[in-house]
Amino acid sequence: MKDRIMTTAERIRLTVIEELTDGRINVPTAALKLNLSVRQIKRLKKRFKQYGHDSLIHGLRGKPGLRKTDMQMEMEIVKTIKEKYHDFGPLLAWEKIAAVHNIPIGRETVRAIMIRNNIWESKKRKRGQYFSWRDRRTAYGELEQFDGSYHDWFEGRNPLLPETCLLASIDDATGRLTKAIIGENESVEAVFAFWREYVEDIGIPVELYVDKFSTYKINHPMATDNLELMTQFRRAMKELGTNLICANSPQAKGRIERLFETLQDRLVKEMRLAGINTIDAANVYLKETFIPWFNDRYAVIPKSSSDTHRKLDTKTVKKLDNIFSKHYIRSINNDFTVQYKSRFYQLQEIQPVTVFKTDKVLIEERPDNITSF
């Protein structure tokens, strides 16, 4: 009794059993007071007569739990985390300890160890602005969420690339990371290369969700009427037959925003452990290792099993060079020249169609730097 303190419930039980033992109440009354069966009351009375007050205290009180982590194992785990996973969260640290170091331990035990040893501080969640959930689309390929994220993906291991851009798309219905590529920037050329590979490998999605205030759309009332005011990306998607939806806030395209939060934590650490510090190596790792792992872990089964991506037909394949070129509109001067990038180009006298002064000319600048009129 010296080292073990009774709880309130145990003190109430003690009072009733003492009354029963002294003959002040009978067994049915004691059973009613403690909400126990007659058999349990008789058993408690018998133990109380043999062992006294201690018999009413839970037998495991004051004893170490069977699941208590061995101190030596805890020290080993703490050392491993501090040496290799010092900035990992409890979940990722637990995965590495279990898989890489083959230490059998529970996830929450690792969290408790990290908190106890001041490696991890439990975070209190703040209540943010309320946003209602939008239902997932029903089928794969019905809606892709797409964006780019500038970040120090190599954590300074490549001084020539202090900050690179990860382009990624995630399927709305399944949560699958459909494609991800790291590049130097989020240029038109990089975005076009991303989506050309996408449609060739997977197909053409029905709709695409992007940020309204990103480089993918000029926020101008005349953008739908004047080709010069439309971005190259919107025009390319229109030619592919993909409807472009522009989100009014980052929360509206929450799936891709949460994806980047995960990638900036987990992908960065995985590439660190793999010793990756170049764009080429990162993209091989993404394609062959990280994306398959991510989809195995996080993808869900959609309501419909159909794939709504449109496969490329022969006609569209032939037009891909044209679709994924940068298009510009210029006017023909009085001397039948066209000015483009501070240079003048003379049109040939013989043309497939009749050309007049002030007519508009479409200029295509292709990824291979070939310019055509």
Query: What is the DSSP code string of 296-356?
Result: HHH----S---B-PBPPPHHHHHHHHHHTSEEEEEEPPTTSEEEETTEEEEPPS--SS---
151: which strand partners? 164
The tens-digit pLDDT sequence of the chain (373 residues) is 445 677 788 788 888 888 888 889 999 998 888 888 989 888 888 888 888 877 777 655 555 554 556 788 888 888 988 888 988 888 888 988 888 888 888 888 888 888 888 888 877 666 555 455 568 899 999 999 999 899 999 998 998 888 899 999 999 999 999 999 999 888 888 889 999 999 999 999 999 998 765 555 554 444 444 443 357 888 899 999 999 988 765 555 678 888 999 999 999 999 999 999 999 999 999 999 999 999 999 999 999 999 999 999 999 999 999 899 888 777 666 566 666 666 766 666 656 555 666 667 777 777 766 565 5
Task: Tell me the CA distances in angstroms from 215 to 50, 153, 187, 206, 246, one per residue in order.
Answer: 82, 21, 9, 21, 11
Q: Is residue 288 within 8 Å of residue 323, measured between CB atoms?
A: no
Cα-to-chain-centroid distance, residue 27: 61
Question: Could you tell me the two tokens for 181?
Answer: 């590529």
Q: Could you state, in order of their start, the residue ranges of all structural domains in the chain?
A: 8-56, 71-116, 143-298, 325-372
Question: Could you tell me the two tokens for 206?
Answer: 């029905």
What proportions of the chain, in percent to the nearest 5, are helix, strand and coil?
40, 15, 40
Give φ, ψ of 26 to 5 degrees.
Answer: -100, 175
Helices 27-34 and 38-51: crossing angle, nearest 10°? 100
Q: What is the pTM of this model?
A: 0.66
Neighbours of 96 (CB within 10 A): 19
- The fold for domain 143-298 equals Nucleotidyltransferase; domain 5 (3.30.420)
Give the three-state DSSP class for 372: strand
